[in-house]
C-alpha cells in the first residue's frame, strides 16, 4: 500500500497545531494504471492522522454533473453543478478526509490553480478563466483514530502539484487513508479508495471511489469483501445471510456493534469519467444510473448515516457517440463495481497471546506511565505483579481500552501486547517512552508524559 512512515516520525500532535506535519505523496503500493492524459491524479496523506486527500485534475477542463444521496453529504459547489449549464469549466475534483474540516482542501486546490498561473480572476468574454474546483469529504474521526488531524491547505496543494497521468493508488491512500466499511453489521473493516478503467475502441470509462460506507462491500458472488465478523458467523459470510436475519443479525449473540456510542457517519464518494461528449441532461442521467447501481456493491447503500455523492464527468474528447447513453451507463456501472472492490485493503489480523511467561519479575514496570496520543486520548499503563494493564484516562476510549476500568494487556512478545476482542488491537513498546497502538498502516503513536 502507500508509503508507511517510520514510527519515530509520528509523534502525538496537539489540537490545532498542524504546522509540523509533512505531506506524504503516495508513490508505492498497488496502483491502477490507465492511459488517459486528460486525467491527472495524486493522493497525499498526513501519516500522523492518518488521513488524506485525493485530487483529480482535468488540464483541458471538463463537463460535470452531481448526484447526491444519503443523509449527510458534504460538498463544495454542489448547487452550481446542479444548475446544469452546458459549459466546459471543471478544473478539479477533490476528495478528502477530515469531515467538514476537509472541505478546505477543495478551495485550496482552486487557490493553487490561481497561484500557479493556470487560472486567474477573469470571468468575462468567451472563455472565462476562473478556477472551478469541487469536492466532497468523508468522516474519518471517531473511534477509528485517536486524534483530529485533518487534510488542510498544505496537504491539498501538495497533492495537486504532484498530480500525474495514468496512475491511481488503491486501498489505504489519499482520501481513503483511514476509511472504514460495514459499520451497519458491526464489521468495522478497513477500507480505502479504488479505481477501474475500461476501453472499448475509442470509448474510455474510468471509475474512482472512496468507500467509507455504513453498509458492507459486496462482491459479485454476494460475499462480504471485508468484515471483522462475530465469532458465530460462518467463515465465508454472504450479504444475504446477514440481511435475511436482519435485525437479529445486528444483536448480541449474532453480531456485536462497534462499541461506539456516537452516531455513525459514513460516506461513499465517487467519480465516473467518460471521454464521450454528453449533454448536461445525459450527464445527469449517467450520474443517477451509476449511483443507483452501487447499491449492488454496497449493502445497504445511501442510508441516513451516509453522505454519498457521485460526480459524472465528460472530457468531451469523443464528439461522435461510440455507444448509446443507456448502454454507456450500464457499462460504467460495472466499471464502478470493479472500482469499489479495488478499494478493499488487506485487513490486519489479531495477534496470539504467549502461552508462557515472557518477563522477569519487575520488568513490566518499565512500561508503566501515561502515554499521550492527543489532547483527548491518553492511555495509562500500570504493572501489577506479572501483569500489565491499560486504562483510558483522557476524554475518550483508546480503541478497546475504555475509561471504566483497567483492561489486561496480554503479552505476545517481550515488547508486544494485545487486547482480545472482535477487532484486533495490538500494542508495541518500540522505544523508551514510545507506545505504538496497532503497528502498521493504521498505527497511532503515544509518548509517555
Q: Which positions are catalytic?
A: 267
Q: What is the pLDDT of residue 124?
A: 78
* Cis peptide, bond prior to residue 300, ω within 30 of zero: yes
Place of cell 445497504: 300
H or E element, residue 194: strand 193-200
d(CA 251, CA 257): 8
Question: What local confidence, expressed as pLDDT, does residue 255 receive?
Answer: 47
Q: What is the pLDDT of residue 6?
A: 38
The number of beta carbons lying within 10 Å of the beta carbon of residue 410 is 17
CA–CA distances in Å: residue 237 to residues 18, 116, 222, 230 = 42, 51, 9, 10
- The answer to whether 228 and 219 are in contact (CB under 8 A) is no
State pLDDT tens for residues 205-250. Answer: 999 999 999 999 999 999 999 999 888 787 778 898 888 878 887 7
CB 156 within 8 A of CB 53: yes
Residue-wise pLDDT for 370-416, tens only, equals 999 999 999 999 999 899 999 999 899 999 999 999 999 999 999 99
Whether the model clears a pTM of 0.85, i.e. scores above it, the answer is yes
Please, what is the average pLDDT of the chain?
92
Three-class DSSP labels, 233-269: CCCCCEHHHHHHCCCHHHCCCCCCCCCCCCCCCEEEE
The whole-number pLDDT of residue 282 equals: 97
Spatial contact of 413 and 354, defined as CB atoms under 8 Å apart = yes
pLDDT score recorded for residue 257: 39
Listed in sequence order, the residues at least 6 apart from 39 whose beta carbon sits closer than 8 Å to its beta carbon are 56, 57, 58, 165, 206, 273, 315
Low-confidence stretches of the chain (pLDDT < 50) are 1-10, 12-13, 255-261
- The C-alpha cell at 443 is 498505527
H or E, element range at 291: helix 280-293
- pLDDT for res 256: 37
Amino acid at each position: 500500500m502507500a508509503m508507511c512512515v517510520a514510527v519515530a516520525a509520528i509523534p502525538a500532535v496537539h489540537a490545532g497545531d498542524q504546522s509540523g506535519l509533512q505531506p506524504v505523496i503516495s508513490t508505492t503500493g498497488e496502483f491502477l494504471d490507465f492511459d488517459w492524459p486528460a486525467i491527472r491524479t495524486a493522493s497525499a496523506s498526513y501519516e500522523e492522522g492518518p488521513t488524506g486527500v485525493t485530487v483529480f485534475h482535468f488540464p483541458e477542463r471538463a463537463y460535470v454533473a452531481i448526484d447526491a444521496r444519503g443523509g449527510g453529504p458534504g460538498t463544495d459547489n454542489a448547487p452550481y453543478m446542479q444548475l446544469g449549464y452546458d459549459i466546459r469549466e471543471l478544473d478539479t475534483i477533490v476528495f478528502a478526509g477530515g469531515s467538514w474540516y476537509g472541505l478546505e482542501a477543495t478551495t485550496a486546490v482552486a487557490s493553487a490553480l490561481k497561484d500557479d498561473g493556470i487560472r486567474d480572476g477573469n470571468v468575462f468574454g468567451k472563455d472565462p478563466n476562473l478556477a472551478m474546483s469541487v469536492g466532497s469529504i468523508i468522516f474519518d474521526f471517531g473511534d477509528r483514530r485517536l486524534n483530529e488531524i485533518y487534510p488542510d491547505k498544505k496537504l491539498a496543494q501538495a497533492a495537486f502539484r504532484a498530480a500525474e497521468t495514468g496512475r491511481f493508488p488503491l486501498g489505504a491512500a489519499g482520501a481513503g487513508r483511514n476509511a472504514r466499511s460495514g459499520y451497519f453489521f458491526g464489521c468495522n473493516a478497513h477500507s480505502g479508495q479504488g479505481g477501474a478503467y475500461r476501453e472499448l475502441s475509442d470509448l474510455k470509462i474510468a471509475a474512482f471511489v472512496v468507500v467509507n460506507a455504513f453498509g458492507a462491500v459486496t462482491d459479485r458472488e454476494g460475499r462480504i469483501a471485508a468484515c471483522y465478523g462475530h465469532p458465530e458467523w460462518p467463515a465465508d459470510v454472504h450479504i444475504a445471510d446477514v440481511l435475511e436475519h436482519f435485525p437479529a443479525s445486528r444483536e448480541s449473540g449474532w453480531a456485536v456493534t462497534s462499541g461506539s456510542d456516537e452516531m455513525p457517519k459514513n460516506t461513499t464518494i465517487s467519480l465516473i469519467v467518460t471521454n464521450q461528449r454528453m449533454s448536461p441532461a445525459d450527464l445527469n442521467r449517467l450520474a443517477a444510473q451509476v449511483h443507483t447501481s452501487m447499491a449492488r456493491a454496497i449493502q445497504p447503500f445511501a442510508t441516513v448515516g451516509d453522505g454519498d455523492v457521485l460526480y459524472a464527468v465528460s472530457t468531451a474528447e469523443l464528439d461522435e457517440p461510440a455507444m448509446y447513453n443507456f448502454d454507456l451507463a450500464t457499462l460504467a456501472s460495472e466499471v464502478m463495481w470493479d472500482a469499489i472492490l479495488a478499494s478493499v485493503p488487506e485487513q490486519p489480523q489479531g495477534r496470539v497471546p504467549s502461552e508462557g511467561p515472557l518477563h522477569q519479575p519487575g520488568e513490566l514496570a518499565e512500561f508503566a506511565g501515561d502515554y499521550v496520543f492527543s489532547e483527548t486520548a491518553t492511555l495509562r499503563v500500570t504493572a501489577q505483579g506479572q501483569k500489565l494493564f491499560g486504562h483510558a484516562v483522557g476524554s475518550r476510549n483508546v480503541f478497546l481500552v475504555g475509561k471504566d476500568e483497567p483492561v489486561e494487556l496480554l503479552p505476545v512478545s517481550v515488547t508486544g501486547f494485545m487486547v482480545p476482542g472482535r477487532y484486533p488491537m495490538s500494542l508495541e513498546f518500540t522505544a523508551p517512552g514510545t507506545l505504538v497502538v496497532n503497528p502498521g498502516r493504521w498505527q497511532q503513536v503515544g509518548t509517555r508524559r
